[in-house]
Amino acid sequence: MLVDSFGRTIDYIRISVTQRCNFRCVYCMPNIPMNIGSEEEDVPLEGVLSFIKVAINEGVKKIRITGGEPLLRKGIVDFIAQIYQLNPDIDIALTTNAYLLAPLAKPLKEVGLKRINISLDSLKKETIQCISKRNGLEKILQGIEAAKKEGFLIKLNMVPLKNINDDEVLDILEYGMHLGVGVRFIEFMENAHAKNDTKGLKAREILEKIEKKYTFKLLQQDIFGPATLFEITQAQESYIFGIIAPHNDDFCKTCNRIRLSSEGKLIPCLYHENAIDIKEAMLYGDSQEILKSLKLCIENKPEKNDWNENQTSMRAFYKTGG
């Protein structure tokens, strides 16, 4: 079991399998060339599996595959199958923009993937184009529908941005309600790679938009993630939505996560710049060195992040999976 110096059990690892992405979202990597990197620059998936074996042996129970856009990675279906074969009880999840998801939904379900988080920042074609620099709404919705058909546990992630999509908070919420899937609203994470002057809604502002139409009550922390949950109860029906608010001090109290970047770096906290390079150990399948670095990463995990509204992180979220 992995326990940090503040008594938190670390049993959840987010693994970025590539920094490459087919979107250029304003809050993430708008100024990065579309032809960034190549498959050869990503740590080989066999090496990543060497790390995963050690992590599972140390008590990790949940693994989320991220990017960049993880569905760009060749062999991603076989990779997830191999994780499942290591331990069928591992909760394997994926975060994707869904642009490539529709034809892969069934194969991913068949090899053991359980959960999918899908970025959906708008239901308007022109707004998706504005945010991501890609005319992708149709394919995104097709991906969501395919995932729903296959029976995945689905969460839709929206980053509400001022003067861009902040008028769609209720629309995205009601789309999730109608589809019967969860919605998570995520506060914009200030970072040096985002478009200049990008401003997001804070949790309070998001809730104010929702309460104009719905009444809700606070529930609890999401046991599968960092969201604070709220329940809407109207017309004898209930619906649960969540808000991920890293600006809130409570965000860190129950943090059970570390990250592995596509470059082979272990990151104890998203909003700290420290990291441990384990690429070589993964390439050689050196389980002892991997374990040593994993324990050091847990030891270095801070009590809380360094986030404040006047400080911009230099961390590239497209390399760490956000």
- Determine if residue 255 is labeled as part of a ligand binding site: yes
Q: 158 labelled as ligand-binding?
A: no
Could you tell me the CA-to-CA distances from 167 to 43, 56, 139, 163, 289 in Å, in that order?
A: 40, 42, 22, 8, 50
21 known member of a binding site: yes
34 carries a ligand binding annotation: no
* 25 carries a ligand binding annotation: yes
Cβ atoms 143, 101 nearer than 8 A: yes
The answer on whether 204 is annotated among ligand-binding residues is no
Identify the residue whose tokens are 């990250």: 259
14 is annotated as contributing to ligand binding = yes
* Pair of tokens at residue 271: 């909003």
269 is in an annotated binding site: yes
Question: Any known ligand binding at 206?
Answer: no
- Asked if 56 and 293 touch (Cβ cutoff 8 Å), the reply is no
Residue 207 DSSP label: H
> For the packed helices 169-179 and 203-210, what is the interaxial angle rounded to 10 degrees?
70
Q: How many residues does the chain have?
A: 322
Which residues are CB-contacts of 288 (< 8 A; sequence separation ≥ 6)? none
| β-sheet with 257-260: strand ranges across | 216-221, 228-234, 237-244, 182-186, 153-158, 115-119, 91-96, 62-66, 12-16, 257-260, 265-267, 276-277
In the three-class reduction of DSSP (H, G, I as helix; E, B as strand; rest coil), residue 9 is classed as strand
Residue written as token pair 């279906």: 77
Residue 64 known to bind ligand: yes
> Known binder of ligand: residue 27?
yes
Determine whether the annotation assigns residue 130 to a binding site. Answer: no
Does the annotation place 20 within a ligand binding site? no
How far is it, in rounded angstroms, from Cα 41 to Cα 46? 14
Q: Where are the beta strands (DSSP E) in the chain?
A: 12-16, 62-66, 91-96, 115-119, 153-158, 182-186, 216-221, 228-234, 237-244, 257-260, 265-267, 276-277
> Which residues make up each annotated binding site for S-adenosyl-L-methionine?
27, 68, 119, 189
> Which residues make up each annotated binding site?
14, 21, 25, 27-28, 64, 68, 95, 119, 155, 189, 252, 255, 257-259, 269
> Which residues make up each annotated binding site for GTP?
14, 64, 95, 155, 257-259
> Which residues make up each annotated binding site for [4Fe-4S] cluster?
21, 25, 28, 252, 255, 269
